[in-house]
């Protein structure tokens, strides 16, 4: 399943310099996958067998630097909060 199914580009529309946070995240994970593809068999397999599909999130997190993970978590929080607001709008209380 593509990462775009989990990270809502429209919700991550806050600029970081000339890009949105979503665009910056996409660049970060794609660079991590590209640089690790030579060394990691699971990435080689995916890129050869499914060239038109994004790499699964488990594979992306395997090759990200530890410092990139909070950025992913921040973007996912938007999705989680919006889901909670849609499913239980009267019971939602911000923390």
Residue 29 to residues 55, 68, 84, 94, Cα–Cα distance (Å)? 9, 9, 27, 30
Tell me what pLDDT residue 93 has: 58
The predicted-structure confidence for 25-55, as pLDDT tens digits, reads as follows 889 899 999 999 989 999 999 999 999 999 9
Which run of H or of E encompasses 47?
helix 41-49
Residue 90 binned pLDDT confidence (cut-offs 50, 70, 90): low
Is the pLDDT confidence value at 19 over 60? yes
- Give the number of other CB atoms < 10 A from CB of residue 24: 16
Least-confidence region, from 8-12, 20-24, 38-42, 56-60: 8-12
Report yes or no: 9 and 22 within 8 Å, Cβ to Cβ.
yes
In this predicted model, which residue has the larger pLDDT, 4 or 37? Answer: 37
pTM greater than the 0.85 cutoff: no
Domain ranges of the chain: 3-87
């Amino acid at each position: 399943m593509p990462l775009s199914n989990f990270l809502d580009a429209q919700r991550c529309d806050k600029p970081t310099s000339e890009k949105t946070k979503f665009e910056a995240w996409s660049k970060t994970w794609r660079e991590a996958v590209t640089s690790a593809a030579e060394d990691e068999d699971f990435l080689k397999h995916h890129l050869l067998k499914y060239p038109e599909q994004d790499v699964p999130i488990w594979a992306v997190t395997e090759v990200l630097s530890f410092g990139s993970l909070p950025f992913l978590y921040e973007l996912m929080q938007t999705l989680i909060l919006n889901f909670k607001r849609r499913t239980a709008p009267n019971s939602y209380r911000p923390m």
